[in-house]
A and B are shown apart, each in its own frame.
Chain A
Amino acid sequence: ETGVTQSPTHLIKTRGQQVTLRCSSQSGHNTVSWYQQALGQGPQFIFQYYREEENGRGNFPPRFSGLQFPNYSSELNVNALELDDSALYLCASSSRTEGDTQYFGPGTRLTVL
């Protein structure tokens, strides 16, 4: 069984640029959620994708957007990067049969200069 994978591991961007982060869900999981984790804080829910559609969104602006593909993998796109977007971005996958239990990937560390 393959776990959740994310790419890239690290990324450095400058303010105003755009970034795309990628996630492959765990085998058998059809739902993907994205979280942002600032240093010293708990993860914060960005949004979730199920059946290729957004299925819930946290308190994040529209410049945070996403996609889910037929194979359940997902992308997180962030436009017009700001310094405060520097964080660890976590992808979590789940199966509807396991309720709210989320399994997390290793994360992508984004630094905005």
Chain B
Amino acid sequence: EDQVTQSPEALRLQEGESSSLNCSYTVSGLRGLFWYRQDPGKGPEFLFTLYSAGEEKEKERLKATLTKKESFLHITAPKPEDSATYLCAVPRYGGSQGNLIFGKGTKLSVKP
């Protein structure tokens, strides 16, 4: 069964303390892996799409990487405004385009 697991569930960092979030996936045929940021009570905001193992993408303090079994979201020198829940998702194998399976997310808190 297609599945996405994110860890840790919650992460508390001091401002400037770098760390990584993990997304493990099980899917028969990967058509891409997506990272989103979600603020409380808001819709997810698209961050990155990764398509193949070894691919990396960066945006400000965030860098996403992909292997054959998992993806990492690295946060370098985070700021309080990076506090949010980070979601990863993969398309369901055999599903329609855009039928995404999401993990439960990692809730990141960055303290000044």
B64 at the interface (CB under 8 A from A): no
Q: A40: which B residues are within 8 A, CB to CB?
A: 104
Q: A31: which B residues are within 8 A, CB to CB?
A: 97-98
A106, B102: Cα distance in complex, Å: 17
Q: How large is the interface on A (under 10, 10 to 19, 20 to 34, 35 or more residues)?
A: 20 to 34
Instruction: State the Cβ distance, A58 to closest chain B Cβ, in Å.
Output: 7
Q: Is the pair A90, B43 in contact by a Cβ cutoff of 8 Å?
A: yes
Q: A6: which B residues are within 8 A, CB to CB?
A: 43
Contact of B41 among A44, A45, A58, A107 (CB under 8 A): A107
Instruction: State the Cβ distance, B48 to closest chain A Cβ, in Å.
Output: 10
Q: How large is the interface on B (under 10, 10 to 19, 20 to 34, 35 or more residues)?
A: 20 to 34
Q: Is the pair B98, A42 in contact by a Cβ cutoff of 8 Å?
A: no
Q: Is the pair B102, A58 in contact by a Cβ cutoff of 8 Å?
A: no
A94, B34: Cα distance in complex, Å: 14
Q: Is the pair A109, B41 in contact by a Cβ cutoff of 8 Å?
A: yes
Q: Is the pair A102, B102 in contact by a Cβ cutoff of 8 Å?
A: no
Given contact pairs A102-B46, A105-B43, A109-B41, A45 touches B32 in the complex (Cβ within 8 A): no
- Total contacts A-B at CB 8 Å: 80
A31, B44: Cα distance in complex, Å: 17
Contact of A33 among B4, B41, B87, B99 (CB under 8 A): B99
Q: Which label, helix, strand, loop or mixed, suits the secondary structure of the B interface?
A: loop
B100 at the interface (CB under 8 A from A): yes
Q: A107: which B residues are within 8 A, CB to CB?
A: 41-43
Q: B4: which A residues are within 8 A, CB to CB?
A: 42
Q: Is the pair B34, A100 in contact by a Cβ cutoff of 8 Å?
A: yes
B105 at the interface (CB under 8 A from A): yes
Q: Is the pair B43, A94 in contact by a Cβ cutoff of 8 Å?
A: no
Residues of A at under 8 Å CB distance from B?
A: 4, 6, 31, 33, 40-45, 48, 50, 55-56, 58, 88, 90, 92, 94, 96, 99-107, 109
Known contacts A43-B87, A45-B100, A56-B96; 16 additional CB pairs below 8 A are A4-B43, A33-B98, A42-B104, A43-B89, A45-B92, A88-B41, A94-B97, A99-B97, A100-B31, A100-B34, A101-B34, A101-B46, A102-B98, A104-B45, A107-B41, A107-B43
